[in-house]
Homo-oligomer: A and B are copies of this chain.
Amino acid sequence: MAVYTQLGAETLAEIIAEFDVGTLISAKGIAEGVSNSNWLIETESPDGEVTLFILTMYEQRTDLSDLPFFLGLLDYLAENGCPVPRTIHDRDNKPFRFHENKALALIEFLPGISVTHPTPAQVHAVGSALAQIHRAAAGFGESRANGLGLSGWRALADECGADGLAAIDPGLAGFVERELAFLEEHWPADLPRSVIHADLFPDNVLMLGDKVSGLIDFYFACTDITAYDVAVTHAAWCFSSDGASFDPALSRALLSGYEDLRPLSEKERAALPILGRGASMRFLMTRAYDWMNTPADAMVTRKDPMAFARRLEFYSDPVNAVCFNHDDNS
């Protein structure tokens, strides 16, 4: 959450002039996203119309070879009626440009706010929006491997090391090892795959009342098990943030909203608990890694890895499988 690169007003005005969007009249660095610099840009057309955009400068964490996938996906989904921001192409019709060897893209601004205490009606809408992108993305020709899948979790666990994990919580190293072994043995291989968002937390959903006005931050989007995205979204929306309490009403709303547009097969439904364990492992591992690599006094808020260890425990308890039964969600 930062602006990593400073751009002067004259530089910003020159950058904006490369797009057919009017004259720059305002630019504010915004505290959004964890790894890129973002500005909220206001432009004015010759006839006085004012429009907002997001200008994103991609910093180290984004692999530039992935940008055509991410930005092409946004364009494809927007064209197919999904609530995602379009990429504004420059005067040469390129979806991103370079400034001093850093890539930047001008992105449509969508209104809406990210809820922190979602209601069932809101989570229902999120489920439907997720199904909508899964359906629409079926026609998108590109694919991208998931760098944070099964082998990625193992690699992160190795980088953290048993001592590193134990420093977070005494039982964490053993817990992670047992869970990784389980996931490696039982991870489903035959479920439908598609382009997935893979990070649909409340931060990445803009809402106006009970409606989804925008899905944003597709920088983890990849090709993977479609129902895994349902599980990620379930882990992201249906628990208290510390993972200590599960909200069955939100869970029912999410699945019902999703199935309004894309019913899950019996096989997908049955796999949701293990997919939830995988989703929890993914965020447990990235949070553990970030925890170990962020000084305690840094200005960035460290997110507690254990919040996802608790979710993982929830998904691995057979008693909770009932939450994913069709009958329970009718």
Contact = CB atoms under 8 A, between A and B. Distances in A.
A327 to B, nearest CB: 33
B299 A10 contact: no
Contacts of A52: 42
Query: What 10 A-B pairs come out closest when comparing CB atoms?
Result: A8-B116, A29-B31, A9-B113, A25-B111, A28-B30, A299-B299, A26-B111, A3-B31, A9-B115, A30-B30
A28 B9 contact: no
Interface string A4-26: 00101111110000000000111
Given A10-B116, A12-B113, 8 more contacts: A2-B299, A6-B301, A25-B112, A26-B113, A26-B206, A29-B32, A30-B30, A30-B31
Contact of A115 (B10, B31, B32, B44): B10
B9 A114 contact: yes
Given A1-B3, A3-B1, A27 B298 contact: no
Chain A binding surface SS class? mixed
Interface residues of A, number: 40
A66 to B, nearest CB: 25
A138 interface: no
Find the residue from A27, A52, A207, A300 having the highest chain B CB count within 10 A: A52
Contacts of A3: 1, 31
Interface in A203-262: 206-208
A25 B299 contact: no
Interface of A: 1-3, 6, 8-13, 24-32, 40, 42, 44, 50, 52, 111-117, 206-208, 295, 297-301
A40 B30 contact: yes
A221 B2 CA distance: 28
Contacts of A32: 28-29
A78 to B, nearest CB: 18
Contacts of A27: 113
Contacts of A40: 28, 30, 40
A8 B300 contact: no
Contacts of A42: 52, 111
A190 B234 CA distance: 70
Contacts of A117: 8, 10
B2 A31 contact: yes
23 contacts: A1-B29, A3-B31, A6-B301, A8-B115, A8-B116, A8-B117, A9-B116, A12-B113, A13-B113, A24-B113, A25-B111, A28-B28, A28-B32, A29-B30, A29-B32, A31-B31, A40-B40, A42-B52, A42-B111, A44-B111, A50-B111, A295-B297, A299-B299
A121 to B, nearest CB: 14
A305 B8 CA distance: 21
Contacts of A112: 25-26
